[in-house]
Amino acid sequence: MNWQTRFVLALLLALLCLGCGRSERSEGAPETANVEKPDWLTDFEKAQAQARAQNKALLINFTGSDWCPPCLMLEREVFKQPEFTEYAAKNLVLLMVDFPRIKMQSLEERAANRKLAERYEIDGFPTIVLLDPSGKKIGELGYMAGGPKPFIAAIEQLSEADAPSTP
């Protein structure tokens, strides 16, 4: 290896190391940027057991997290917003079923995700499937503009439509 190649490799390594130490939050970012993001599970069985134990709905996000423009918009405009984070913490168990093109996944996770996509007949991304605490499907959503407020309202509407009527 000649000295120019070694120099370029050393420079790239140095730049990589510098990038690793940076915080995602910049100095001028508002305080709401510091809100913890929701805890997305990736194992269906664990998510379903948690939903049942906590008596919460299970929101399954079928996504192409590193390539699908509407998926990326849904993540940025809804899932990373404090209003959704707070709502999810109180009312939902979150499961991400990802179909990335760049990000690495284990063969087991890929196979499990394909199986879930077949089970719920997913034919596009993003598709959000909402299950009640017992595991019964109560509806589907996709990307919708307007941020967390209309998205949460749609979840509430699906949940209310599924709720047993009182005599």
Q: Tell me the per-residue pLDDT of 97-112, one tens digit each, with 9 for 90 and over.
A: 999 999 999 999 999 9
More confidently predicted of 39 and 82: 82
Q: Strand 137-141 and strand 127-131: pairing?
A: antiparallel
pLDDT at residue 1, rounded to an integer: 66
Q: Dump strand ranges (E) for the chain.
A: 40-41, 57-63, 92-98, 127-131, 137-141
* Residue ranges of domains in the chain: 36-161
pLDDT at residue 162, rounded to an integer: 76
**Residue 72: pLDDT above 50?**
yes
Q: What is the mean pLDDT of residues 120-146?
A: 97
Decide if 40 contacts 94 (C-beta within 8 A): yes
Tens of pLDDT, residue by residue over 33-52, are: 444 566 899 999 999 999 99
Question: What distance in Å separates the CA atoms of residue 105 and residue 77, rounded to the nearest whole number?
Answer: 25
pLDDT band at 130 (very low <50, low <70, confident <90, very high): very high
Question: What distance in Å separates the CA atoms of residue 15 and residue 136, rounded to the nearest whole number?
Answer: 49
pLDDT at residue 26, rounded to an integer: 34
Please state the CATH superfamily assignment of the domain spanning residues 36-161 in this structure. Answer: Glutaredoxin (3.40.30.10)
pLDDT at residue 4, rounded to an integer: 59
Question: What pTM does this model have?
Answer: 0.77
Q: What value does the mean pLDDT of the chain take?
A: 84
